[in-house]
Amino acid sequence: MKDLFAEERGAALSSTEKSLMSSVLFAGTVCGQIAFGLSADILGRKVVCISTSSIMFVSALCASMSFNWEGVWGSFHMLVSCLFFLGLAIGGEYPLSASMASESADPEKSARRTSVVYSMMGVGQVISPLVTFILLSAGLAPGWAWRTTLLIGLIPVTITFFVRYGMQDSARFRAVAAQRTAGSVGATFRKYIFTLLGTGGSWLLYDIVTYGMGSFYGELSTKMGFGETVLDEARSTLFLQILCLPGWALCIFLLDWVGRKPTQLWGFLGMAVANGALWGYLLYFDDPESASSLWIKGSLLVVGRTLDGAFVGLSTYVIPGEFFPTAVRATFHGISAGLGKLGAVIGSGVFPLLIGSGEHLAFLFASAVCALGIIWTFVLVPNYNVNLLKERLREEQEEAQGNARQRLVRDSVSELEDGSHIRSEMLSFQSLSSPSRSHAGGDAEKGTGGKAQKDGKGHLPDIEEDATTLVSGSSRRDIAQRGISSGS
C-alpha cells in the first residue's frame, strides 16, 4: 500500500512517513488485542466479535476514501487515522479467533482447529497481492488499485459479521464465566506470570522480524534485484507468498506431529540460519546481474518465510490460545499478542533504517533476534501436551459443578429463611389479634424446644437441615442439573 500511495501522490514517502504508516497500524493492533481480549472474557465472545467486525468495516471503508479533501484532511493524515482504527479491529481478532477455536473443540482437536484458523492468514497473504497485481496489470491507476483492494476486503468482513451475529458463546466459556472474579483473575495472573512472559516475549521477538521485514518486502525485493516498479514489487511479493503456501498447509498438522514448544524452537533456529545465510551472501557473494544469484536469494527468502509462518508464527498464536485457563484465555492471549505487536512497532521503525544503510544489515539483525528467540523459548515457554489440556478441562468442569451446587444450597437456605420470617410475622400478627392464640403459640414454641429460635451464631438450624435435605438423594441430582444448566 505504501508504494501505491506514493505513486498516487507523485512523491516518494520518506522513511519517517513509511514508519508512521506501519507503526500506527501496529499501535492500533496492540490496543485492540489487549482491550478486546479483556472485554471478551468479561462481556462474552459474541458481543466483542460483532464489535470488531463493525469497526473493521467502517475503518477500511473510510481508509479507501482517503482523498485529499481540501480544507479538511490531507489524504496521508486521513489514511493514517483510519489505519489506527483498522489496526484496533484487527488486533481484537487475535485473542477472539484463537480462544473461540480452542474452546469449540476437544483437547485432542484444539491445536488442529486453531491451526486452521491461523492458516487462513497465509491465504490472505496470497489473495491481497494477487488482487493488487491483477488490478495493476489491468491498467488501474495505483491510487484506485489500493483503494479497490481495501473495498474487496470488506466482502469477507461483511459475511463474518452476519455469521457472528447468529452464533453463541461456547458452553465451556459460559460455565466458567460465572465464576470469574477480580480475585480469581489476580491469582491466575500471579500463577502464570512467567508463562505469560514466555508467550508474550517470544511473540515480541518473532514480530520484530516478521513484521519488520514483511512491511518492506517490496522494497527489499527491489534492492535485491527483483524489479523496480510497483508492478514488479507486487509480482515478487505474490510469487514469494505462493511459494510459502505449502508451509501454511503443513502447519495444520505440524503441532500434533512435532509438539508445540519444539515447533517454536525449530522455527526460530531455521529463521536464524536462513537470515544469517542471506546476510553472508549479500555481503560477500551477491551478483545482482546473475540469474543464479537471484535464485539463491529467492530460495533463502522462501525458506525463511516458510519457517516464519508455519513454525514460529503458528506456535506463538496457538500456545496462549490453548494453555491458559478459559476464564482468562482471551485476556492472556491478548496480552501475549499485544507484546508481539509491540515488537512489530519496533521492527517497523528499525528495519527502514537498516535497509537504508544496506539490506544485508536487516538480515543480520533478524538473525540475531531469532537467536535470542531460541533462548527465550527454551527457558520460559511451557512444554505441554494433550493430557494436560484434558486434565485442565476436567478441573474446570468439576469446579463449575461444585460452584453450582454451592449456589443451590445458598439459594435454598435463603428461600427457607424467607419463609420462616413470613411465618414469624404471621404468628406475631395472630398473637396481637388473639391473646389466647399468642399464649398457645408460646407453649407450642416451648414444646418444640425453641427450634424456631436462632442459635448462638445467628443461624436457623432447622432451616439449614431442610436445605441439606433439599440437595440429598435424587433431589440433589435434579437440582444440581438445573444449576449446571443455568451456570452454562
Q: Using CA atoms, how far apart are residues 208 and 164, in angstroms rounded to an integer? A: 32
The 8-class DSSP code of residue 328 comes to G
Listed by start position, the domains of the chain span 2-384, 404-487
pLDDT of residue 428: 55
**CB of 304 closer than 8 Å to CB of 269:** no
Residue 216's pLDDT is 58
C-alpha cell at 224: 535485491
Predicted TM-score (pTM) of the model is 0.75
Residue 433 has a pLDDT of: 52
Provide the CA 209 distance to its chain's centre, in angstroms. 19
CA–CA separation, 213 and 331 (whole Å):
28
For residues 458 and 287, give the distance between their C-alpha atoms in angstroms, rounded to a whole number: 90
Instruction: Give the pLDDT of residue 266.
Output: 93
Q: Which residues pair with 372 in a beta bridge?
A: none
Q: Please give the full DSSP string across 182-250, using - where no structure is assigned.
A: HHHHHHHHHHTHHHHHHHHHHHHHHHHHHHHHHTTHHHHHHHTTS-SSHHHHHHHHHHHHHHHHHHHHH
CA dist 475 → 102, 360, 461, 464 (Å): 35, 74, 20, 16
Q: Is 488 helix (H, G, I), strand (E, B) or coil?
A: coil
Helix (H) or strand (E) holding 157: helix 142-165
Cell of 163: 455469521
Q: What is the pLDDT of residue 69?
A: 55
**Any idea what DSSP says for residue 73?**
B
- Print the SS3 string covering 242-306: HHHHHHHHHHHHHHHHHCHHHHHHHHHHHHHHHHHHHHHHHHHCCCCCCHHHHHHHHHHHHHHHH
Taking domain 2-384, whether its CATH number is 3.60.20.10 is answered by no
Q: Which secondary-structure segment (H or E) carries 105?
A: none
Q: Find, among 342, 323, 308, the residue nearest to 33 by Cα.
A: 342
Residue 72 three-state SS: coil
Cβ density class 295-314: b for 16+ within 10 Å, e for less: ebbbebbbbbbbbbbbbbbb
> Side-chain half-sphere of 419: how many Cα atoms within 13 Å?
11
pLDDT along the chain (488 residues), means of 10: 70 75 84 94 93 95 77 68 93 93 86 88 85 87 87 93 90 79 81 95 94 66 59 73 78 82 94 92 80 78 81 92 90 94 84 78 93 97 88 78 64 64 57 47 44 45 45 46 46
The residues pairing with 73 across neighbouring beta strands, listed in sequence order, are: 69
Whole-angstrom Cα Rg for the chain: 30
Give the span between the Cα atoms of 219 and 230, in whole angstroms: 10
In the numeric block, which cell numbers belong to residue 65?
A: 476514501
Closest-CA residue to 74 (of 16, 10, 9): 9
Q: What angle do CA 363, 369, 373 make, to 5 degrees?
A: 140
Longest dimension (CA), the chain: 117
Residue 300, CA atoms < 13 Å, CB-side half-sphere: 21
Q: How far apart are CA 40 and CA 43, in angstroms?
A: 5
Query: If you write DSSP's letter for every residue of 122-134 in order, what string do you get?
Result: HHHHHHHHHHHHH
Residue pair 451/462 in contact (Cβ under 8 Å)? The answer is yes
DSSP assignment, residue 434? -
> Is the separation of the CB atoms in 59 and 89 below 8 Å?
yes
**3-class secondary structure, 412:** helix
Point out which residues pair with 69 in neighbouring strands.
Answer: 73
Question: What is the reported pLDDT for 195?
Answer: 95
